[in-house]
Structure 1
Amino acid sequence: MKNKHSITHVILTGGVGSRLWPLSRKSQPKQYLDLFDGKSLFEMTVERNRNIANQIMVVGNIDNCHLSRKVMEKSNTSYLDIVESTPRNTAAAIAFAAFASQPDDILIVTPSDHIIDEMENYEVAINEAVEKATRGFIVTFGIVPTKPEIGYGYIERKGDDVISFREKPNQVTAKDFIDKGNFLWNSGMFCFKASVFLEELKSFQPDVYEKSKIAWNSNINGTLDLQLSLEIPSISVDYAVMERSKKIKVVPSTFIWSDLGSFESVYDYLVATGHSVDKNGNMVIGTDNYTAFVGLKNTIFVYTETANLILHKDSSQDVKNIYNQLERENSNLLN
């Protein structure tokens, strides 16, 4: 891609994937699991934008930066490593990347744990976003929905203007969104000039801007000081900037996209790539042991060495309740 601006791919790797426990653990979050043809989601994210961006930044945390480093070394990729000493949510994470950039640099910000397919459509969307970003807009990618999904937030739009951002809906509301036809899934991917993002952050959330700047200015080789980081309010970029700025544009996109945030989406992805299910739609993940399901339909059996999970595919969103319960009990099964 030819572009007169320097383009940086910023990869956010902070999530723990609570809805994918017990596969996803604090020591090995879902973006580093080699579940996908021997590659991890993180590795696929790096490769996807390699020919689009001039440079890569990885914003990770103290617990997972060694996992990112391993992947980057394996593929011999140079990058700027930004290491958070404590998670402060996405507004601060993106601010660090913007502070580490030149004002006119275009940043393409993506999570590290998404599946994306149909790369021609993806590159069309990226080109359109970069073009809008060079004109001073903050661009979000909205995915044309294929079903009334309740696991995603939505963007209500008119053309490329955003009318509103909506939280994850219930089933009735999701169906209503799809019927209306002008709602897109909120992909959590963004594109903007570093300076434009920082101006908007400073204008709407000056506390995050100031405290992030102080923390960034004291970084040592990209690693942020714990005490200074704890002063930064923990707030998502959606609340801090996206829902308040007047400079937002959306690029409606038709590439295949999933955040693989739940076992239902993992199930759908694995079925599409040839993972076996029995005649009643039951699936085993994590073991080759012979496993029989009797009287069950659409059930997923997840095996790990220290914990197993058995769930109905439709109850995938509830796995986080188990995670939260184990967290309250301070269980080492989360590590």
Structure 2
Amino acid sequence: MEKHSITHVILTGGVGSRLWPLSRKSQPKQYLDIFDGKSLFEMTVDRNSTLADKVMVVGNIDNCHLSKKVLEKSNTKYVDIIESTPRNTAAAIAFAAFASEPDEILVVTPSDHIIGEMERYEEAIQEAVEKAVNGYIVTFGIVPTKPETGYGYIERKGDNVVSFREKPNQVSARDFIAKGNFLWNSGMFCFKAGVLLEELKIYAPEVYEKSKLAWENNSDGNLDLAMSMDIPSISIDYAVMERSKKIKVVSSQFEWSDLGSFESVYDYLITIGHPVDENGNMVIGTNNYTAFIGVKDTIFVHTDTANLILKKEFSQDVKNVYNALERDNSDLLN
């Protein structure tokens, strides 16, 4: 197989509102050091360092200094794209594609996921690169291990995508698992930069034109605020994946979690030996002696300015607290 230049594009835009109060605007979850002493962002850089020739980071004005710190620590050269305001994944991925040669293969990954079983992961990347070389836009689907309601799903037939499904309720999630041809949508992609841009131009022309304009006027990778505000804020799934005829899915069985909620963080921390008491209660963020009485499967999250106490199964509801604080314009989100 001919050698193609592979660029690892790391998307770092998210705030992780369901992990408040650990995750804040000034220290989003991908930079927290609660995962084995390394941040998720650093683990993402490490995991792909042998698979790609180049690194590109699409971040924003609030977090680019945090990425820089990690990349300088490992002496990694990278292309820095700095959004002045978050415009969702369609624009973020468009910027990366505009910054690349049309024939370059881009492997696009979020910066806040946990991935295990590297052999399977590398096989999936190789398979995706081969499909991308042949002009397909590849999305990575994970074989589900449980009827998870916190993830979107990909319905597939072989390596063809039948449909993309939003986060399901419990009944639909069980139904998906029973059918057996549904995969978790990992939010990872692989494609030639030029192919992605052609499809974006066809299916989301306004995103294409306005991202192009913003990119052409960048200064040192920094994007202009007014031009960015003009770009429609839509996801790459909605802009391209659900519409294009060039989509393939690679189905994989590596361990994967987007750590989007305290329940998934709890499950992960248990695998690395984080202590829980005999009723399944866990403390995150402090070594202070903490006693739980009369409760079980409860998580106590401590930070200097805010504490959170929740039953594990209600972890999707943390975003309601975040949204309420946002409405009050609270300093506790910063």
The one-letter amino acid of 2:42's match is E
The aligned residue for residue 74 of structure 2 is 75
Deviation at 1:298, TM superposition (A): 0.4
The one-letter amino acid of 2:239's match is A
The one-letter amino acid of 2:62's match is D
Q: Does 1:19 align with 2:18?
A: yes
The aligned residue for residue 104 of structure 1 is 103
SS of equivalent residue, structure 2 residue 195: helix
Percent of aligned positions that are identical: 79
Deviation at 1:109, TM superposition (A): 0.2
Whole-Å Cα distance in 1 between the matches of residues 310 and 176 of structure 2?
28
SS of equivalent residue, structure 1 residue 222: coil
Whether the 8 Å CA contact 2:114–2:259 is kept in 1: the answer is yes
The aligned residue for residue 166 of structure 1 is 165
Matches for 1:171-182 after TM superposition, within 5 Å = 171-182=170-181
The aligned residue for residue 221 of structure 2 is 222
Whole-Å Cα distance in 1 between the matches of residues 289 and 256 of structure 2?
32
The one-letter amino acid of 2:91's match is A
The one-letter amino acid of 1:140's match is T
Whether the 8 Å CA contact 2:137–2:246 is kept in 1: the answer is yes
Runs of 4+ in 1 over 4 A off after TM superposition: none
The one-letter amino acid of 2:210's match is K
Q: Does 1:260 align with 2:240?
A: no
SS of equivalent residue, structure 2 residue 141: strand
Segments of structure 2 that go 5 or more residues without pairing to the other structure are none
Whole-Å Cα distance in 2 between the matches of residues 234 and 176 of structure 1?
31
The aligned residue for residue 206 of structure 1 is 205
Deviation at 1:37, TM superposition (A): 1.6
- 1:81-135 deviations in Å (ceiling 9; x for gaps): 0000011100000000000000000000000000000000000000000000000
The one-letter amino acid of 2:249's match is V
Deviation at 1:3, TM superposition (A): 5.6
Whole-Å Cα distance in 2 between the matches of residues 322 and 114 of structure 1?
23
Deviation at 1:7, TM superposition (A): 0.2
Whether the 8 Å CA contact 2:58–2:92 is kept in 1: the answer is yes
Whole-Å Cα distance in 1 between the matches of residues 148 and 326 of structure 2?
27
Whether the 8 Å CA contact 2:142–2:183 is kept in 1: the answer is yes
Deviation at 1:36, TM superposition (A): 1.3
Whole-Å Cα distance in 1 between the matches of residues 35 and 265 of structure 2?
10
The aligned residue for residue 325 of structure 1 is 324
Segments of structure 1 that go 5 or more residues without pairing to the other structure are none
The one-letter amino acid of 1:190's match is F
The aligned residue for residue 130 of structure 2 is 131
Cα RMSD for the two superposed structures: 0.7
SS of equivalent residue, structure 1 residue 301: strand
Q: Does 1:238 align with 2:240?
A: no
Deviation at 1:38, TM superposition (A): 1.2
The one-letter amino acid of 2:43's match is M
- 1:243-266 deviations in Å (ceiling 9; x for gaps): 000100000000000000000000
Whole-Å Cα distance in 2 between the matches of residues 242 and 35 of structure 1?
33
Whole-Å Cα distance in 2 between the matches of residues 102 and 84 of structure 1?
20
Whole-Å Cα distance in 1 between the matches of residues 183 and 296 of structure 2?
31
- 1:246-292 deviations in Å (ceiling 9; x for gaps): 10000000000000000000000000110000011000000001101
The one-letter amino acid of 1:291's match is T
Whole-Å Cα distance in 2 between the matches of residues 18 and 271 of structure 1?
22
Deviation at 1:195, TM superposition (A): 0.4
Report the TM-score when normalising by structure 2: 0.99
Report the TM-score when normalising by structure 1: 0.99
SS of equivalent residue, structure 1 residue 276: coil
Whole-Å Cα distance in 1 between the matches of residues 151 and 140 of structure 2?
13
